[in-house]
Structures are given as C-alpha cells and as structure tokens.
Structure 1
Amino acid sequence: MRRKIGTGLMVCGVALSVFAMAGALSGCKPLPPSKDPKLFTPEEARGAQVFQTKCARCHYPTTTRGLHGPGLQAITKVKSMPSGAPPTDERLTATILHGHGMMEPVPMKDEDMPYLLAYLHTL
C-alpha cells in the first residue's frame, strides 16, 4: 500500500511539474502589481476618486477578476484589452466615453479624463 501512495504522489509531482513548465513555456507571466496608493501623485489620487464614482460599480481595479465588467489590473501594461484593442490612452478614452460591446458609455467631464487615465496607468 505504501508503494501505491508513493507512486501516486510521484505522479502528482510530475504532473505539477509538467503544468508549471507548460505555463513557463507558454509565456504566462504574472501581471505587474498595482502602484501603492500611498505613492500616488495628486493626479493619480484624483483619478482614483473618479474611478470610484464612475467605474468601480462595474470593474475591480487591482485584479483581473471580473465584476460586471473585466478586472482592470495592468490594463495599460498588457498588449491588448479584453476587447482585443491595444490599451492606448486614445482607445481607453474612446471605450470609456462611447462604450464597447456590453459596456455602456460613461458620461464624464472632459477635465476628469486625464486624471482617470493617470490612475489607470497605476493599475
């Protein structure tokens, strides 16, 4: 019986190693962490307030886990947004103001957008 348990553990260990190696070879990298709010510039802090009033009901900021919309961790640091478009400030602005797919347009004052973008770059 000990032999079967030992073999089972060895098989599990090999399987985990294979999965870890497959992840490494496929280019899976952990996303960079979000900036510590204590280190925010005044612009980023104001953008965090805009996010809380305009975006937080649908998006988590510091995880990729979805709420009503996708989580936004590293949204400006990845090659493409969930829509497949590159995460440029212009594309983010267009998506926010005009909506995309299931996302409704978000009405926003012109002066708030640069602050929101500054905050999004901290995620």
Structure 2
Amino acid sequence: MQIRICSYLLALFSGLAALSVLAGCKSLPPSKAESEWTPEEAQGAQVFHQACAKCHYPTSTHGLHGPGLQAITKIKAMPSGAPPTDERLTAVILHGHGTMPGTTLDDQQMHDLLAYLHTL
C-alpha cells in the first residue's frame, strides 16, 4: 500500500512538473512575411540559402545539422547560451562555433544576411 501511494505521488508530481514546463513555454513570434521583405532582407535570404540552409532550417527550431534559426534574433540566448546580438551572430557566422565552420562573406553579404535573420 505504501509503495502504491509513493508511486501515485511520484506520478502526480511528475505530471505537475510537466504541466508547469508546458505552461512556461511560449510560442515564438512569427517570421516576417516574404512579401514584406526589404531588398536587403531578400538578398540576405539568398545568402542564407547559399551559405547556411544546408545546415540550418530558417523557420523552425528543429535542427538539421545545426540548430533551427526561427526567431534567432528575438530570443534571449542562442543555443550556445550567448545573446543573439548582431556582433555575436557575425562572429559565429564568420569564425564558426563548435562544429560549425566559419563562412566567408563580404561586408554587404553579412549586412544582408543579418537583415534576413531579423525577419525570422
């Protein structure tokens, strides 16, 4: 009887913990509609598809070979734990991080890519 009560309490607390985690989850803001992109954002989307899309989904948090990037500029911290400032994003893109290799982009490509990342 005592084991059954303990099992019941454990299941109850586990359920409450899971519920509190789900209640704390917030949906991410939607991406900007493609029809509303500026020319820089559209160019940045092209840069993304050429240099980043083989490893990252742009409008999902699910990973491909690297993390999904939905709302990457709108969250408090990137998967690495660092804040998603333009400076930090630039450093990660150009120099890599962990298993992500660095990417060679000129200043205009980087500017456009950052503009696009802000639409996600």
In the superposition, the TM-score normalised over structure 1's length comes to 0.81
Amino acid at match of 2:55: C
Gaps of 5+ in 1: 1-16
- Is residue 100 of structure 2 the alignment partner of residue 106 of structure 1? no
Query: Take 1:37 and 1:66, find their aligned partners in 2: how far apart are those partners?
Result: 22
Distance 1:20 1:96, change over 3 A: same
Match of 2:22 in 1: 23
- Sequence identity (%): 68
Q: Map Cα deviations across residues 2-49 of structure 1 (whole Å, 9 max, x no partner).
A: xxxxxxxxxxxxxxx95555522xx21001111111110111001001
Where does 1:108-123 land on structure 2 (aligned, <5 Å)?
108-123=105-120
Which of 55, 59, 83 is equivalent to 1:62?
A: 59
Q: Map Cα deviations across residues 27-73 of structure 1 (whole Å, 9 max, x no partner).
A: 21001111111110111001001101110010000000111100000
Which of 89, 92, 96 is equivalent to 1:95?
A: 92
Gaps of 5+ in 2: 1-14
Which of 45, 61, 71 is equivalent to 2:68?
A: 71
Match of 1:45 in 2: 42
RMSD of the TM alignment (CA)? 1.8
Runs of 4+ in 1 over 4 A off after TM superposition: 17-22
Residue correspondences, number: 107
